[in-house]
Structure 1
């Protein structure tokens, strides 16, 4: 069962490292007149938008990629095309509000080791902000972070600077 956002936000804040606790804010909006209440999740750093997960933009981007994959003729299975299009959109930095909910659920139910090794870049991003990811671990990650998703790299660098490790 999904908790209310206010409880999740409080839990997320409790997991956040001290160096970023007052700088990073998560905001969730819903389009109430939309039949499925689509919306966005914003991650604000120092009151500036650092990451926006918009369901509508992600759906649009996924649709374009599905159309291109279908036209290429390489993939014929509709399910495979959908999965590949979503993966491509995520790789390009497009994530939906729903993706955030699933990532949050995974994050709250996993250990920090599981979080940092998750296949989901949003889960790993949450791990970069987590107080359970200590300074020594951050320094040990320096080499492997080069192969990470751009969003994970961005939040890793933010945390490194906030901890004074650069």
Structure 2
């Protein structure tokens, strides 16, 4: 796996839409004094963290998870893909970004836009390979998407002059 600096550089220069460069920043860190070097991750828009997560939120906010046995197992044990609930609660960390990037970097943009992992879909909607026509087509079904994805779609559409 690449270093975080390499991943961030790819996300912010190679993949990020020209209209968002300088506005979107990806952030991930691990704390060297923390057990197992746990850390946090965030996506910032003009300096404001739109989504942010930290390993320690997994423990502090566990009682806020939906009371669904499969969901709890998926989030706590399997550390599976991120959904809107996980992103709103901030129960993800830098490893989720690394995993999402690995998926995103190794597939085409169409597959990334349909991924079950919301972080992968966010990377995709901010990607330069998604043009104005594609964004305009997405507007028809954006109401069916999660609130978090809609927020990133709105950021991108506004930057492209579509909103």
Gap regions ≥5 residues in structure 2: none
1:84 offset after TM fit, Å?
Answer: 6.7
1:53 offset after TM fit, Å?
Answer: 1.9
Residue in structure 1 matching 2:162, options 130, 152, 165: 165
Contact 1:53–1:100 under 8 Å retained in 2 = no
Cα displacement string for residues 22-67 of structure 1 (whole angstroms, at most 9, x for unaligned residues): 1111122222111111111121111122111211113432x3257x
The secondary structure found in structure 2 opposite 1:133 is coil
1:91 aligns with 2:84: yes
**Aligned twin of 1:39:** 39
1:20 aligns with 2:16: no
Q: Figure out how many residues of one structure are paired with residues of the other and give that number.
A: 155
Q: Using the alignment, how far apart are the partners of 2:92 and 2:54 within structure 1?
A: 5
**Aligned twin of 1:56:** 56
The secondary structure found in structure 2 opposite 1:19 is helix
Residue in structure 2 matching 1:149, options 146, 149, 153: 146
Contact 2:83–2:116 under 8 Å retained in 1 = no
- What is the CA RMSD across the aligned residues, in angstroms? 2.3
TM-score, with structure 2 as normaliser: 0.84
1:109/1:163 CA distance change after superposition, 3 Å: same
TM-score, with structure 1 as normaliser: 0.83
Contact 1:103–1:123 under 8 Å retained in 2 = yes
1:84/1:106 CA distance change after superposition, 3 Å: closer
Gap regions ≥5 residues in structure 1: none
